[in-house]
Structure 1
């Protein structure tokens, strides 16, 4: 029995606060895309793991975060004439939309301020501060986060996850896959128009720290620009083609198809149509097979239960 997982990097303005020139179209659509994604998930009964930047749980702040061991200038964008708007710094009701959905979503975290955990300049002290601040902010909101997504998929400082109660994380797409995300435009067009191969199915595995790695299979907005425009006249939306293949493969095999995106990817009507077409196909396959849609936390709980040490009774009898 196969499984589909959807994880969402929910960051509003924090995903681009360190950019000299952030993508203004994505920032402008960030809140609207978040709400559209909640609605689509509810319509098609798709539970997702929402990895939320910890700062978004706050109701307010001074914009300085003096107790945080961030490098100089890291929070400068929160104040002054060029600061991010409040609508991009705080969720202001968006997390409540997830909580109030009829779908059983999971809320995880995405660091506190979108620090790249695997960057060489990120220290262990900073990594721990990012995790602990995010967990504390989530707990005030009533969330006990267990799942984690690395900003920009830059994996590092796994010990900080373990120390702060995280049980699973989204790992990178398998690097031995010839269809890796680093392919150029020509390769991407060929994959969508010629190849019958789908994105990889993955396995969730427990590492030496006891953390469960739930690797990614497909970024739903990694095929844009020239590649998308060239492929669409021939095969339609190329990412929808790949996602349908991944869903079909998961239904036919015992593996995980793990797709992911950001709410701010939903910039134009065609982006919403992409997601709707994927969800419609998922609904059709679920109706005729035993394919499941589960959260990262649910996957991790099963792996941890299966790999837990077996208790042995001292009298030789079966343990209760």
Structure 2
């Protein structure tokens, strides 16, 4: 198939297929997975097998991705965690959200649910992979009992422990996508230059009061087109820090062939539309979503990547991380005018 012209793309900025992953292990589920016997522990531990397998696939297929990593996971041991933990901490009205209350082991060997330095290093060693932040403590911006000052201390700690591990961060993904516009100045002040924003469509506004309806709409929309395709035009990227909106969440398999096929079809149709229109398609998930039925999830991911590669041939779609998109955006917006 010969490469075709993009319909509405910009020559300096072709359509992009972007992946971001929320790497959190138990830190992101501690309010739900409350005992070692909880059935979801298996998935969290399974993420430790899924991460290297995904990296192998990304390396083989030349896929670039952003790994938004909870700050705790950068630590080699409990002593390192203590050293980098901020003195100022949130006091959530819901104490189940407070990760500082957890009893953890000494290091990764004794506690693989709460440490992952070896996996962080493996990600960093894989070509095209960007290490980003998912805050230090899996911080919840929309919860009662936390303040802007608490948030700033958390982000500063996330930056510091990442630098200790040898990484300079520019991209941020907020836990549970709790983006608060009042906190954007703090994000910029600490040094982050871009973040993953929420799609501008029904089901994603925090101001919609019926949370049950929002969740149901998002779930159904993953299988059938209820709210559109959700690519982002380059010219619509805005903000400082730069808002790089999510397009779709790659939901875990249901084990129902018809539903699982619908889910992939929905994603691929949205990818094709973004490729045709010269847009950014931003797919995200958690490594632990692949922690059960890992091989089947990897086959799905391979199918998505294969479809992207066909779009790359047909429409010149490119694989990009959040950092890549940030750099492309800055190059074009700061270039001197030729007129």
CA contact (8 A) 1:168 1:211 kept: yes
Task: Provide closer, same or farther for how the CA distance between residues 277 and 212 of structure 1 changes in structure 2, counting only shifts above 3 A.
Answer: same
Find the aligned partners of 1:205 and 1:262 in 2 and give their Cα distance. 24
Shift of 1:152: 0.4
Find the aligned partners of 2:277 and 2:71 in 1 and give their Cα distance. 36
Instruction: Tell me the SS of whatever aligns to 1:87.
Output: coil
State the partner residue of 2:18: 5
State the partner residue of 1:261: 285
Shift of 1:255: 0.9
State the partner residue of 1:67: 87
**TM norm structure 1:** 0.82
State the partner residue of 1:153: 177
Q: Choose the corresponding residue for 1:77, options 91, 102, 110.
A: 102
Instruction: Tell me the SS of whatever aligns to 1:112.
Output: coil
Find the aligned partners of 1:89 and 1:188 in 2 and give their Cα distance. 33
Instruction: Tell me the SS of whatever aligns to 2:117.
Output: coil
Find the aligned partners of 2:22 and 2:336 in 1 and give their Cα distance. 36
Instruction: Tell me the SS of whatever aligns to 1:46.
Output: coil
Task: Provide closer, same or farther for how the CA distance between residues 35 and 186 of structure 1 changes in structure 2, counting only shifts above 3 A.
Answer: closer
Find the aligned partners of 1:69 and 1:299 in 2 and give their Cα distance. 32
| Mean CA deviation greater in 125-134 or 296-305 | 296-305
Report whether the alignment pairs 1:54 with 2:79.
Answer: no
For residues 234-291 of structure 1, the C-alpha deviation after alignment (integer angstroms, 9 at most, x for no partner) is: x752221122112211221121110001110102132222212111211222234311
Find the aligned partners of 1:76 and 1:109 in 2 and give their Cα distance. 21
Report whether the alignment pairs 1:182 with 2:215.
Answer: yes
Report whether the alignment pairs 1:27 with 2:12.
Answer: no
Find the aligned partners of 2:217 and 2:296 in 1 and give their Cα distance. 22
Structure 2 unpaired stretches of 5+? 1-13, 205-212
Instruction: Tell me the SS of whatever aligns to 2:77.
Output: coil
Q: Choose the corresponding residue for 2:31, options 8, 18, 23.
A: 18
State the partner residue of 2:238: 206
State the partner residue of 2:60: 43
Instruction: Tell me the SS of whatever aligns to 2:78.
Output: coil
Find the aligned partners of 1:236 and 1:124 in 2 and give their Cα distance. 41
Find the aligned partners of 2:43 and 2:167 in 1 and give their Cα distance. 27
| Superposed counterparts of 1:106-255, under 5 Å | 106-156=130-180, 157-176=183-202, 182-184=215-217, 187-188=220-221, 192=224, 199-203=229-233, 205-207=237-239, 210-221=240-251, 225=254, 229=256, 232-233=257-258, 237-255=261-279
Q: Give the number of equivalent residue pairs.
A: 297
Higher relative contact order (CA 8 A, sep 6+): 2
For residues 137-169 of structure 1, the C-alpha deviation after alignment (integer angstroms, 9 at most, x for no partner) is: 111112110000010001122222111110000
Task: Provide closer, same or farther for how the CA distance between residues 143 and 293 of structure 1 changes in structure 2, counting only shifts above 3 A.
Answer: same
State the partner residue of 1:100: 125
Shift of 1:4: 1.0
Find the aligned partners of 2:336 and 2:146 in 1 and give their Cα distance. 38
